[in-house]
Amino acid sequence: MRADKAKVIDEIWDDARIDSFLDKQPLGDEPADYSQLLHAYRSMRVEDFEQFLHRYKDRGGNPAALNKDGNALADVIKNHRQAGPFLALLNS
């Protein structure tokens, strides 16, 4: 059995693509601010997430936004193996 999609490495993340994450609709019934952060975390490399986070904050986004269960993204990802750089950005 083969994978449906080939893994894409070193995608180009231009300003327009990063900005498009600021207009993403909420995932399910998650609050919009939290949902945007989660989607960006799941989709972006650290350097792209950093650019997103600056724009997100400039538009009034809260990096400590809570999900429907009352957890911030930093709490949700703190045990992820490669989350360290993302946590540093969220906590800065």
Residues linked to residue 66 through DSSP beta bridges, in sequence order? 72
Phi, psi of 24 (to 5 degrees): -65, 140
Percent of the chain at pLDDT above 90? Answer: 76
SS3 of residue 7 by DSSP: coil
Q: The pTM is what? A: 0.84
CA distance 55 to 61: 9
Sign of CA dihedral 20, 25, 30, 33: positive
List of residues 6+ apart from 52 with CB closer than 8 A? 18, 21, 22, 40, 44
Per-residue pLDDT averaged across 54-79, rounded? 96
Could you report the per-residue pLDDT of 10-50, keeping only the tens digit for each? 677 889 999 999 998 998 899 999 999 999 999 999 999 99
- CB atoms under 10 Å from CB of 91, counted, come to 10
Per-residue pLDDT averaged across 64-79, rounded? 96
Quick check: 39 and 21 in contact, CB under 8 A? Answer: yes
Residues linked to residue 48 through DSSP beta bridges, in sequence order? none
